[in-house]
Structure 1
Amino acid sequence: MYFSSSLLATALVLGRIADAAQNQLTKVSGFTAGPTKAGMYIYLPTKKLNPAPIIVAIHYCTGTGQGYFTGSKYANLADSKGFIVIYPSSPSSGGCWDVASKTSLTHDAGGDSKTIVNMVDYAVKNYGGDRDRVYATGSSSGAMMTNVLAGAYPDVFKAGSSYSGVPDGCFYVASATAGMATPGWNNDCAGGKSVKTAQQWGDLTRSYYPNYNGTRPKMLIWHGTADNTLGYPNFAEALKQWSNVLNVPFTKDNANTPQSGYTQKIYGDGTKLIGYSGQGVGHTVPIHEDVDLAWFGL
């Protein structure tokens, strides 16, 4: 639906095969809640916690839930940690997620975001998932959806980890500014040319669930300086957005964290928002599953 051929590179970057998980990935044929036709795939470890935390791991454009399962280590870690992993699979022809329509961006309005939330509800009711420990992560288009879920459904998700995406609502606003009848891929947003103040970005996120006054998800934002698909300036814009939403100012940089060549950017006391900039890293930043799990408290 919202597809750029340049995102084909993501599939190559994330195409590494994880060590074999103990169990099989299962397509959930009983999930029919919609409102879109995204497929629900689930990984259940043999030694599952009761209730079990839930990680929603969201694939990139051209990808699938099955591909993100084999290209990441979340299932392997679930075997030792006991959490559930949901791998949504996009219903669009290009494998991208709807992160540009007002419907998907708005709380309980519909779209792919609501379908993913319904998958979480299904896992809670049918697989013993823990409604109070639900987390989202994703790469590229999946990173964009992670931001959308954190913005539109802060009552569902406790934390997110976004790898090489754009700010929440960026495609929607950029498309509207360009006069596009149907919001979707926008080169200004993708190229990092959509620049707003922290307040403007924060107001945009809050507008998708205007009556919400509860706790917001804590966020990790990852981006590479050599990203030629979703430009590096999107990193700063996303951090501005979430620093405003979470009300945490920038505090300091830590060099070579979590590894050589990466800079960790701490906001506030580091418990609500952290950014990771990868020097010379392209699209997308490799998944750092151990960092994600520590952030999720798993």
Structure 2
Amino acid sequence: MLRSRNLNSRLLVVLLAVVAAIGVSLPAAPQAVAASLTQVTNFGTNPTNLQMYLYVPNNAKPDPPILLALHGCQGSGPYLYSSTDFAALADQYGFLVIYPSTNPGGSCWDVSSDQALRRNGGSDPVGLMSMITYTEQHYGGNPDAVYVTGESSGGMMTNVMLADYPDVFKAGAAFMGVPYHCFYTGTARGWNGPCAGGQVSMTAQQWGDLVRGDADPGYTGPRPRVQLWHGTADPTLNYNNLGEETKQWTNVLGVSQTPSSTDTPVANWNRARYGGSSGTPQVETYSIVGAGHQLPIQGTPMAAYAIHFMGLDGSAPTPGSTGALHAVGAGKCLDDPNSTTTPGTQQQTYSCSGAANQTWTHTTSNQLTLTLGGSTLCLDADDRGTANGTKAIVWPCNGQANQQWNVNTNGTITGAQSGLCLDVTGASTADGAPVELWSCDGGSNQQWTLG
């Protein structure tokens, strides 16, 4: 059986010479899988009678992360398990993989009904959430490290799950998908020809408003980071959908639609990063030149790049990174007012300029330093404060705990002494907003990217 073909049994599989298009010198992904796929029944609320399959590697780490991996139309969980490299990567890095199957077997995911496009509204997403909860409760899965990926219809559902449950997922990677709500028909597993054909175009604001207003109304917390993949010659889901997805998620995550960096990490892979070039990008896209509707390609590094973006390979922000500290919610940068070197100056957020007073280094001692006029200053919790409202100031570096900061994989920056989050006061988006320490609450005004 070929995966990711025929959305709603209307389209023919097109197998292009994609491997040749992306180069023949790519390193192979890890090979043998030592454990086996296990079907799980009675896993909880399951309105559409989905099937659940779980892969637990023999070397699963304590409190293992969870990856939800979603097949395409005419596929199944077991088929995705055998035709992609995610299980082999789970063997290597010790995370769990849930491989669900749709019902009826081989059908597409419901990404088109009102129920599916709203948090806890019913249909497939509710059953998928039950699988995640079951895995957390019965296999020790880490509820703070849940991720999602999928191909074709599964890529569409990846976007839906990220929109419906932003508090559940830390990041996701959608292969050959379409934006959240693009496939809407009002019916379960409906077919939306204009969306498939790349004929649906909206502004970034319109796409973002759909996520904010329809999927989980009222949610104001941090949003999962998003990676998007598409082949430029996709005959099934038009390549234009990649641009629409990019508009949607850059808007939702509050970063510029202009990439912070572009490169070609592998021959014919054009990558763009948004909201952080070094450090942690909020959105990352891959245009695979000449590729059709057959991603990720087994035996290439595509799956490995996806799990690296999600951090499932153990990657995390590393000391030594230098660049701007972007305040995600404000769309500004952490700024030393007027480039002052006066100890005790409270830091602020300001429009990003790339200047030295916005260039921070996360040192191997977990300090955040700023160098101005030959002087190096440290970000400091004023007067060693551990209470909400403590000012974030600059002070000569002294090695004390109130100058040590944890740059976390969830986007927060926490004081090593206080455990409080670096916070833009009042969730302000204005230039000159003061920065302080506050109890971590999941707000976007406590989300930062370095780079």
- TM-score normalised by structure 2 residue count: 0.61
Indicate if the aligned counterparts of 2:64 and 2:142 stay in contact, CA closer than 8 A: yes
Look up the equivalent residue of 2:192 and give its one-letter code.
N
Taking every aligned residue pair, what percent have the same amino acid on both sides? 43
Structure 1 9/278 Cα, relative in aligned 2: closer, same or farther at 3 Å?
same
Deviations 1:106-161 (A, max 9, x none): 01111101111110000000011000000000000000000000000001111000
Residue equivalent to 2:232 = 225
Equivalent residues in 2 for 1:146-225, closer than 5 Å: 146-172=158-184, 175=185, 184-207=190-213, 208-225=215-232
Q: Do 2:229 and 2:242's aligned partners in 1 also have CA atoms closer than 8 Å?
A: yes
Q: CA deviation at 1:211?
A: 1.2
> Which residue identity lines up with residue 255 of structure 2 in the other structure?
V
Q: Which position in structure 1 is the counterpart of 2:404?
A: none
CA distance in structure 1 between the partners assigned to 2:62 and 2:261 by the alignment = 38
How far has the Cα of 1:183 moved from its partner?
6.8
Checking the alignment, whether the CA contact within 8 Å between 1:46 and 1:79 is kept in structure 2 is: yes
- Tell me the distance in 1 between the aligned counterparts of 2:152 and 2:52: 19
**Cα displacement string for residues 249-270 of structure 1 (whole angstroms, at most 9, x for unaligned residues):** 122452422x101111121214
Report if the CA contact (8 A) 2:166-2:222 is conserved: yes
1:3–1:94: 8 Å Cα contact kept in structure 2? Answer: no
Letter in 1 for 2:237: L
Equivalences for residues 58-137 of structure 1 within 5 A: 58-137=70-149
Cα displacement (A) at 1:7: 5.8
User: 1:155 and 1:7, CA in 2 relative to 1: closer, same or farther beyond 3 A?
Assistant: farther
Residue-by-residue CA offset, 1:2-23 (whole Å, 9 max, x unaligned): 613326458x999xx9843101
The letter for the 2-side match of 1:261 is: N
Alpha-carbon separation, structure 2, partners of 1:68 and 1:278: 21
Tell me how far 1:36 sits from its aligned partner.
Answer: 1.6
How many positions carry a matched residue from both structures?
A: 288
Note if 1:251 corresponds to 2:256. Answer: no
Q: Go from structure 1 to structure 2 and tell me whether the alpha carbon gap of 1:9 and 1:90 turns closer, same or farther (over 3 Å shift).
A: farther
Contact 1:18-1:72 at 8 Å conserved across structures = no
The superposition leaves residues 186-214 of structure 1 with CA deviations (integer Å, 9 ceiling, x where unpaired) of: 11000000010000000011121011111
Deviation of residue 280 (structure 1)?
0.8
Tell me how far apart the structure 1 counterparts of residues 304 and 290 of structure 2 sit (CA, whole Å): 22
AA aligned to 1:202 is G
**Which sections of structure 2, spanning at least 5 residues, go unmatched?**
1-5, 20-28, 313-451
Any residues of structure 2 matched to 1:22-37 within 5 Å, and which? Answer: 22-37=34-49
Deviates more, 1:87-96 or 1:141-150: 87-96
State how 1:3-22 maps to structure 2 within 5 Å: 3-6=8-11, 8-9=13-14, 19-22=31-34
Matched, 1:297 2:304: no
Partner Cα separation in structure 2 for residue 251 and residue 238 of structure 1? 14
State how far apart, in whole Å, the 2-side matches of 1:13 and 1:7 are: 17
Distance 1:59 1:190 in 2: 17
Tell me which residue corresponds to 1:284.
294
Identify the residue that residue 143 of structure 1 maps to in structure 2.
155
Aligned residue type for 1:50? P
After superposition, the Cα gap between the structure-2 partners of 1:292 and 1:187, relative to the gap in structure 1 and judged at 3 Å, is same
1:61-104 deviation per Cα after TM superposition (whole angstroms, max 9, x unaligned): 00000000001111111112111000011113542100001101
Structure label with greater radius of gyration? 2
Q: Which letter maps to 1:124?
A: E
Out of 25, 38, 55, which is 2:50 matched to? 38
- The two structures have a TM-score, normalised by structure 1, of 0.91
The farther-off stretch of 245-254 and 222-231 is: 245-254
Could you say what secondary structure the match of 1:135 adopts? strand
Partners in 2 of 1:39 and 1:182 — Cα distance?
A: 18
Spell out, residue by residue over 1:228-258, the C-alpha distance to the aligned partner (whole angstroms, 9 max, x if none).
100011010000000100011122452422x
- Check the 8 A contact 1:4/1:185 in 2, yes or no: no
Question: Which residue identity lines up with residue 235 of structure 2 in the other structure?
Answer: N
* Equivalent position SS for 2:270: strand
Amino acid at match of 1:171: F
1:273 maps onto 2:283 in alignment: yes
Question: C-alpha deviations, 1:34-67, integer Å up to 9, x for none?
Answer: 0221100000011111211000110000000000
Counterparts in 2 of 1:291 and 1:170: CA distance versus 1, 3 Å: same
C-alpha distance in 2 between matches for 1:9 and 1:289: 21
Contact 1:8 1:62 in 2 (8 A): no
Q: Alpha carbons of 1:267 and 1:93: their partners in 2 closer, same or farther (altered >3 Å)?
A: same
Aligned-residue offset at 1:226: 0.2
